[in-house]
A and B are shown apart, each in its own frame.
Chain A
């Protein structure tokens, strides 16, 4: 091939290729044109480039420059045409952005767990840690060590589910007090959440198993003022701005014993059926740990004093979430539990 023949071929390709590019009216047609003209394997321009080595050596430079000019021109024409096609292409259908999102199942802690976690969180700020004990308990830890007089009406308040002789299902979490006092030296600041059992038939407000949370602080000089202060602090953190009231009560394992009320969360204190018209709601039982309990656990009751409390997160969950019947807490209906997903 001579230089002239080569340049003629380039001119011919130049003319035909421009028409070919302009004629392409879809991206697919343009891609076909691109392959035909500049495709790496058998494009027409590529073929011309493969022909370069066959030209007389002194003409190759000129021929090469012509091929490169055409290549640049063709690529530019292809780009222009691609842009033109894109500009006129029908828009892809827009997303209907009102369509629902894809979701995963949401997990949830049990509402009683939520309440326990919240309580524990508040007490952790005051340096309490969580202690635990067994649910199947020795009679002695549940009653004897806690100063329950045998054959006394105080026992009637603890309708007990017994196992074997000397063994029972703990009726409260207070046995953890004794186990902890036996195991660790003061100062002690613990919370003990856990299940307690009573021989109560299942109804809207009673269950044979329920969550209780116990708290205890023991050190030299721990007083009733500390009890009031800590529990009032807790009540304010948990219920928001509220008033507390402490009034006498009786538990064999505390002396003095006190119940703590907060302003009724339903009526705010003006009196309603939920608070029996008193404007107050009973939240927890508490008291200074009875010296007999400290002595049972081998703690010097003259040197150390302490306070303790117990409350029922189940009842607080019912109050907080407006659950009308405690059986919902046990039924495990997924539609109920899903409501507490966070």
Chain B
């Protein structure tokens, strides 16, 4: 909503600056996004006082003056205006000023006399067409004061972000009503310059049909148009608008079209009532029918576009065809033109939902549709019609033919809402005395009547948002000012909601991966998927992101490629986020997952190690174990080889596959290192409707997950005995299998088994590898004797040979 400061000021009984209006609107109504000074093209012009004026020696019409422009020294200025005189105060443009139209003033000689700037006429400043001489100012402002500050020239536009619940603020009168209430002033409509005093015929009311000044008006679609008023004016002269009218229209960002159209737009911006004027001569059959559009019916609207209507749209038709899209835009055929001498003025109330549907179907938003969608006061049309007639008569002449008509089958019944002052105190936290409540509501048009324990409040017709008690509590709070309420911390009780397990597990996983040097990413979850296997967005931003991802590694792979494209070889990213899997239910299955991708150097280069090793499978396997341990701290975690898929390993948590490790194929340049990824499902996010409201209960003593607690083991106080075992292991025999046999055959004194070497080479026969384990034994109470250890070694070698056919490497 664009509001003009000057316009608002004209509606108020006390003067308020634009800044003050901004403060008041912000504090009591809604946000003022911007203040735009409308004549900023005059910002360089200042007040200049002519101290001396003498005839130019070489010219009979030029003057050489000395001007005080506030800079200290007097300036020599040459002037050609006949009305310049010593002591006079004029607009002065110093050297360097850009005048409206783009002329930049320079110091120059005029017939030999130096001129340092220009004294300006009204036309040079684009204030009017007057160029009889320079503009004589009556101001006490000191020389040098910016012209815009000295005289009320530059209107200021306030750009106001009116919230959807406050349609009453979409007009100058509505804003002025709030401003007046806030400062204890009154709002009143200013007189229209040059308005004749018209004998006002009262409007005639009917339910569905009547004659208005020779036009037959019929209301068939009362659902789409609950109230339709009209009047006919004849003998008008269409022409340019007078300056006061055009200025108002321009000030709110509009374009002056002609006096009649400007008059209708003026009323829209002044009162918030959209008004449309038809050329009465163009109405076929001298008829107006307010009806649903016929499916497929077309109309050329005022913007010259041919549009097809649907049956949800209210058409304002003549005998033959639609002449306007109700509540949205007029038609080109009956447009007011310079030849128009008679008009039919429409002032109606259109249903918000129906206008919204029409606007969306036509993809055509206008000042009118914007207001009707949000609700225009249904009691406003009589005043708006009187106002538009007054203005048209003032700017285009003419007279009203007959009585205006008012088709209004179901008149508005005011709503009453009761308000308990005790409830105000409960909700707002500070008590507001009843007298004060009445004093706050009344200036806004609420009628308040005190009853026992409650106030009966009648809601004005322009406030569709006030329907229940709490809405009145808000009125009290905002009119009083939110800042008048205290902000002391008061006692509270702790809540009953336990920490979400999604949050707990996310935190654990994030901390673990950050500690391992990984970087958290938060990429977008959209992918170009397929229509089977993916969840599709019904109205995607583009076909390239029409699906929700079903795994995180895919997203991270694209992010790794993004980094490669920026010459980053070392990438280590992780993400904790949701994936979406198709389901037979309304909602997809949503899983919270964690994934990571590593590529390039395992650590930063250092002068002791110019080329650190690259991340490999074993790093990824280790990260997978860490990730899974962080996510499932009490569980048994195993990484199983996954020979039959793209995965190197599956991550098995308590017997169930929860994720995997794989090499990640990338669209990568030759210098890129291989990328490895891990993905793990953390939890399924519950998304069904809460089945038994109130069933969840916070357990005051939540079960302590003892399995998560580390149990202390006694530190050894006897020495360990260890030996190494180098075995020739066939290539197809997994090391884990051999290790399992070692553990089984070593007895309970075995403390640790570590695979520390793999070797393939000369001394190792084909089809074999040498694997070396270090075994550590320890007796809890005494030192093991050499013979005991040797005995274990012998037994172990026998078992390995017997069970696996594996022998010690001898060379």
> What is the interface of chain A, defined by CB distance below 8 A to chain B?
99-100, 102-110, 112-113, 126-138, 140, 151-154, 156-157, 161-167, 169, 179-180, 182-190, 195, 199, 201-202, 207-209, 211, 217, 219, 221-226, 228-230, 232-233, 244-250, 255-259, 276-278, 282, 288, 290-291, 297-298, 305, 329-335, 337-338, 341
Contact with A along B478-519 (1 / 0, CB 8 A): 100011011111101111111110110000001001111111
Interface assignment of B756: CB less than 8 Å from any CB of chain A: no
CB distance from A131 to the nearest CB of B (A): 5
Chain B residue with Cβ nearest A314: B522
CB distance from A159 to the nearest CB of B (A): 9
Contact A110–B495 (Cβ < 8 Å): no
Contact B163–A136 (Cβ < 8 Å): no
A112 to B474 CA separation, bound complex (whole angstroms): 34
A235 to B608 CA separation, bound complex (whole angstroms): 49
Contact with A along B19-56 (1 / 0, CB 8 A): 00000001111110111000000000000000000000
Contact A129–B495 (Cβ < 8 Å): yes
CB distance from B61 to the nearest CB of A (A): 46
Contact of B497 among A184, A250, A282, A337 (CB under 8 A): A184
Contact B494–A127 (Cβ < 8 Å): yes
Contact A224–B165 (Cβ < 8 Å): no
Contact A199–B494 (Cβ < 8 Å): no
A185 to B548 CA separation, bound complex (whole angstroms): 34
Contact A108–B519 (Cβ < 8 Å): yes
CB distance from A27 to the nearest CB of B (A): 27
Contact of A187 among B482, B496, B500, B540 (CB under 8 A): B496
A217 to B491 CA separation, bound complex (whole angstroms): 13
Q: Which residues of B contact A223 (CB under 8 A)?
A: 426-429
Q: List 30 A-B contacts (CB under 8 A).
A: A110-B522, A129-B495, A129-B497, A130-B503, A132-B685, A134-B578, A134-B587, A136-B535, A151-B352, A152-B356, A161-B538, A179-B690, A180-B497, A183-B690, A184-B696, A184-B697, A187-B493, A189-B494, A208-B526, A208-B541, A219-B492, A225-B428, A229-B487, A244-B487, A248-B30, A250-B164, A330-B524, A333-B568, A334-B570, A334-B573
A245 to B521 CA separation, bound complex (whole angstroms): 34
Q: Which residues of B contact A226 (CB under 8 A)?
A: 429, 489-490, 492
17 new A-B contacts, CB < 8 A, other than A187-B494, A337-B573, are A105-B603, A107-B520, A109-B510, A126-B492, A134-B590, A136-B548, A140-B689, A151-B356, A161-B538, A199-B541, A219-B492, A225-B487, A229-B490, A248-B482, A250-B163, A288-B427, A332-B559
Q: Which residues of A contact B428 (CB under 8 A)?
A: 223-225
Contact B496–A185 (Cβ < 8 Å): yes
CB distance from B773 to the nearest CB of A (A): 29
Contact B356–A233 (Cβ < 8 Å): no
Contact B513–A107 (Cβ < 8 Å): yes
Contact of B486 among A225, A278, A337 (CB under 8 A): A225
Task: Count residues of B near A (Cβ-Cβ below 8 Å).
Answer: 105
Q: Assuming the A-B contacts A135-B578, A209-B525, are A258 and B482 also in contact, with contact meaning beta carbons closer than 8 angstroms in the complex?
A: yes
> What is the interface of chain B, defined by CB distance below 8 A to chain A?
26-31, 33-35, 163-166, 352-353, 356-357, 373-374, 426-430, 468, 470-471, 473-474, 477-478, 482-483, 485-490, 492-500, 502-503, 510, 513-526, 535-541, 548, 559, 562-563, 566, 568, 570-573, 577-578, 580, 586-588, 590, 603-604, 606-608, 685-687, 689-690, 693-698
CB distance from B84 to the nearest CB of A (A): 38
Q: Which residues of A contact B685 (CB under 8 A)?
A: 132-135
Chain A residue with Cβ nearest B689: A138
Q: Assuming the A-B contacts A184-B697, A223-B426, A333-B566, are A103 and B606 also in contact, with contact meaning beta carbons closer than 8 angstroms in the complex?
A: yes
Q: Which residues of A contact B28 (CB under 8 A)?
A: 248
A182 to B687 CA separation, bound complex (whole angstroms): 13
Q: Assuming the A-B contacts A199-B539, A247-B27, are A332 and B523 also in contact, with contact meaning beta carbons closer than 8 angstroms in the complex?
A: yes
Q: Which residues of A contact B499 (CB under 8 A)?
A: 129-130
Q: Assuming the A-B contacts A153-B356, A163-B536, A246-B483, are A337 and B500 also in contact, with contact meaning beta carbons closer than 8 angstroms in the complex?
A: no
Q: Assuming the A-B contacts A255-B473, A256-B478, A332-B559, are A297 and B693 also in contact, with contact meaning beta carbons closer than 8 angstroms in the complex?
A: yes
Q: Which residues of B contact A338 (CB under 8 A)?
A: 519
Contact A167–B562 (Cβ < 8 Å): no
Q: Which residues of A contact B164 (CB under 8 A)?
A: 152-154, 156-157, 250
Contact A333–B563 (Cβ < 8 Å): yes
A152 to B570 CA separation, bound complex (whole angstroms): 51
Q: Which residues of B contact A183 (CB under 8 A)?
A: 497, 690, 693-696
CB distance from B777 to the nearest CB of A (A): 31
Contact B471–A255 (Cβ < 8 Å): yes
CB distance from A328 to the nearest CB of B (A): 11
CB distance from B740 to the nearest CB of A (A): 34
Q: Which residues of A contact B525 (CB under 8 A)?
A: 195, 209
CB distance from B393 to the nearest CB of A (A): 35
Contact B587–A188 (Cβ < 8 Å): no
Q: Which residues of B contact A162 (CB under 8 A)?
A: 537-539
A205 to B362 CA separation, bound complex (whole angstroms): 29
Contact B495–A335 (Cβ < 8 Å): no
Chain A residue with Cβ nearest B580: A136
Contact of B520 among A190, A276, A337 (CB under 8 A): A337
Q: Assuming the A-B contacts A256-B478, A258-B482, are A330 and B522 also in contact, with contact meaning beta carbons closer than 8 angstroms in the complex?
A: yes
A282 to B577 CA separation, bound complex (whole angstroms): 28
Contact B497–A190 (Cβ < 8 Å): yes
Q: Which residues of B contact A246 (CB under 8 A)?
A: 482-483
Q: Give the residue among B30, B685, B690 with the most A Cβ atoms within 10 A.
A: B690
Chain A residue with Cβ nearest B167: A153
Contact B520–A108 (Cβ < 8 Å): yes
Contact A169–B522 (Cβ < 8 Å): no
Chain B residue with Cβ nearest A153: B164
A207 to B522 CA separation, bound complex (whole angstroms): 12
Q: Give the residue among A110, A190, A335 with the most B Cβ atoms within 10 A.
A: A110
Q: Assuming the A-B contacts A129-B495, A255-B474, A332-B563, are A225 and B429 also in contact, with contact meaning beta carbons closer than 8 angstroms in the complex?
A: yes
Chain B residue with Cβ nearest A193: B503
Contact of B568 among A136, A208, A217, A334 (CB under 8 A): A334
Q: Which residues of B contact A291 (CB under 8 A)?
A: 468, 470
Q: Which residues of B contact A330 (CB under 8 A)?
A: 522-524
Contact B500–A131 (Cβ < 8 Å): yes
CB distance from B798 to the nearest CB of A (A): 37
CB distance from A180 to the nearest CB of B (A): 6
Q: Assuming the A-B contacts A162-B538, A248-B28, are A100 and B607 also in contact, with contact meaning beta carbons closer than 8 angstroms in the complex?
A: yes
A195 to B693 CA separation, bound complex (whole angstroms): 25
Q: Assuming the A-B contacts A129-B497, A249-B163, are A100 and B356 also in contact, with contact meaning beta carbons closer than 8 angstroms in the complex?
A: no
Q: Assuming the A-B contacts A107-B515, A153-B356, are A188 and B578 also in contact, with contact meaning beta carbons closer than 8 angstroms in the complex?
A: no
CB distance from A271 to the nearest CB of B (A): 11
Q: Which residues of A contact B513 (CB under 8 A)?
A: 107
A217 to B586 CA separation, bound complex (whole angstroms): 30
A229 to B283 CA separation, bound complex (whole angstroms): 63
Contact A331–B502 (Cβ < 8 Å): no
Chain A residue with Cβ nearest B609: A102
CB distance from A151 to the nearest CB of B (A): 5
A335 to B127 CA separation, bound complex (whole angstroms): 56
A98 to B607 CA separation, bound complex (whole angstroms): 12
Q: Which residues of A contact B486 (CB under 8 A)?
A: 225, 228-229
Contact B562–A331 (Cβ < 8 Å): yes
Chain B residue with Cβ nearest A301: B470
CB distance from A324 to the nearest CB of B (A): 18
Contact B535–A229 (Cβ < 8 Å): no
CB distance from B602 to the nearest CB of A (A): 8
Contact of A225 among B26, B488, B497 (CB under 8 A): B488
A222 to B495 CA separation, bound complex (whole angstroms): 13
CB distance from B344 to the nearest CB of A (A): 30
Contact A224–B485 (Cβ < 8 Å): yes
Contact of B517 among A104, A180, A335 (CB under 8 A): A104
Contact of B587 among A99, A126, A136, A278 (CB under 8 A): A136
Chain B residue with Cβ nearest A164: B586
Chain B residue with Cβ nearest A336: B519
Chain B residue with Cβ nearest A155: B164
Chain B residue with Cβ nearest A113: B520
Q: Which residues of A contact B607 (CB under 8 A)?
A: 99-100
